[in-house]
């Protein structure tokens, strides 16, 4: 089984065939998952904002979501995210598969009662699968730094002036997901649609409704890459026969 976790992109979209809904109990709380198929491959899908879209970024139960993947036998997880672009020279829409992240604020961990310090990072295996899957996408950026803010509000212009010195895109979830994935020994990487220029990068007003609209517009491209990445992961890492 392969895991997929997404947010705004997959709302109201049927990603899987033959879907069965399941509630998974974990030591961190429950996770709602969909079990189904993509291209004949068994998938566990999680909507990170919840099925009712009522979980803002700072209240997502990342530990429960990723523990549920593990409990269901998933090793590889492909994430989908929506980000703001920190580089004015990049033409939008574009996709980015970040290779590192900064998360100073979330404190997300599964280790609240045990002294463990993992070395964080995205899975190079899943990143490689996403990059192969997106090889025909003209605007796919194959590395870069993801800066995670706590949300739910967007950033101030002054914050973006600082952040842009250190990172290429800004979002609210993927760094937390990468951390708990690593803590639970799961392989996770993310493909993000750059749906807007972050606040103040260009002389335009940004607003959440507009970001959401763009994320929906870019969802098909993102889902296409994810579907192909699932096939690469299955063929290259799981079902390899030699
Ligand atoms: N900031 C933070 N998160 C985001 C943005 C942004 O500009 N766009 C999409 N997700």
Domains of the chain: which residue ranges? 2-241
Instruction: Return mean pLDDT, the chain.
Output: 94
Distance 85 CA to ligand 1 centre (A): 8
Q: 230, 187 in Cβ contact below 8 A?
A: no
Cα 217 to averaged position of ligand 1 atoms, centre (Å): 15
Whether residue 171 has its Cβ less than 6 Å from ligand 1: yes
Band the pLDDT of 134: cuts 50, 70, 90: very high
| 70 CA from centroid of ligand 1 (Å) | 28
Among 8-12, 29-33, 71-75, 80-84, the minimum mean pLDDT is found in 8-12
Closest ligand 1 atom to residue 206 Cα is: 7
Range of lowest pLDDT (60-64, 74-78, 84-88, 203-207): 203-207
| Residue with CA closest to ligand 1 atom 5 | 84
In short, whether 211's Cβ falls inside 6 Å of ligand 1 is yes
CA of 89 to the centre of ligand 1 (A): 17
* Digit-coded pLDDT (tens) for 90-115: 999 999 999 999 999 999 999 999 99
Q: What is the mean pLDDT of residues 8-37?
A: 89
Task: Answer whether 195 contacts ligand 1 (Cβ < 6 A).
Answer: yes
Tell me if 169 CB under 6 Å of ligand 1: no
CA–centroid distance, 154 to ligand 1, in Å, is 6
Task: Decide: 83 in ligand 1 pocket, CB within 6 A.
Answer: yes
Which of these, 90, 31, 35, lies nearest to 62 by C-alpha position? 31
According to the model, what pLDDT value does residue 241 have?
66
Local confidence band at 80 (pLDDT 50, 70, 90 cut-offs): very high
- Ligand 1 in reach of 172 Cβ (< 6 A): yes
3-state secondary structure of 157: helix
For residue 69, which of 115, 22, 107, 102 has the smallest C-alpha distance? 22
pLDDT-derived band at 8, boundaries 50, 70, 90:
confident
Is there an atom of ligand 1 within 6 Å of 196 CB? yes
Judged against a pLDDT cut of 90, whether residue 240 lies above it is answered with no
Asked if 94 and 217 count as a contact pair (C-beta separation under 8 A), the reply is no
Looking at residue 193, what is its pLDDT?
A: 96
Q: Which atom of ligand 1 is nearest to the CA of 155?
A: 1
Is the model's pTM score more than 0.85?
Answer: yes
- Name the residue of 49, 58, 79, 84 whose CB sits within 8 Å of the most ligand 1 atoms, as the mutation to test its pocket: 84
The CATH label, of 3.40.50.620, 3.30.70.20, 3.40.50.2300, 3.40.50.1580, for the domain at 2-241 is 3.40.50.1580
Which of 7, 48, 79, 83 to mutate to test ligand 1, by most ligand atoms within 8 A of the CB atom?
83
Q: What are phi and psi of 237, to 5 degrees?
A: -115, -30
CA-CA distance, 242 to 239, in Å (whole number)? 10
CB neighbourhood size of 88 (10 A): 11
């Amino acid at each position: 089984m392969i895991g997929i976790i997404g947010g705004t992109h997959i709302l109201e979209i049927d990603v899987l065939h033959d879907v069965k809904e399941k509630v998974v109990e974990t030591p961190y709380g429950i996770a709602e998952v969909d079990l189904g198929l993509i291209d004949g491959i068994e998938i566990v899908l999680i909507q990170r904002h919840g099925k009712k879209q009522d979980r803002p970024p700072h209240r997502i139960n990342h530990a429960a979501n990723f523990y549920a993947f593990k409990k269901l036998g998933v090793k590889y997880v492909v994430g989908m995210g929506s980000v703001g672009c920190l580089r004015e020279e990049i033409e939008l829409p574009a996709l980015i598969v970040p290779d590192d992240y900064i998360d100073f604020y979330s404190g997300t961990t599964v280790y609240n009662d045990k002294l463990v310090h993992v070395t964080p990072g995205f899975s190079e295996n899943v990143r490689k699968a996403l990059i192969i899957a997106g090889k025909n996408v003209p605007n796919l950026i194959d590395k870069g730094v993801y800066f995670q803010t706590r949300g739910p509000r967007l950033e101030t212009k002054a914050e973006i002036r600082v952040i842009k010195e250190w990172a290429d895109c800004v979002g609210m979830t993927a760094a937390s997901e990468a951390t708990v994935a690593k803590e639970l020994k799961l392989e996770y990487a993310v493909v993000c649609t750059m749906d807007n220029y972050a606040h103040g990068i260009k002389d335009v007003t940004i607003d959440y409704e507009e970001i959401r609209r763009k994320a929906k517009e870019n969802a098909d491209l993102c889902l296409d890459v994810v579907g192909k990445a699932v096939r690469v992961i299955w063929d290259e890492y799981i079902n390899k026969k030699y």
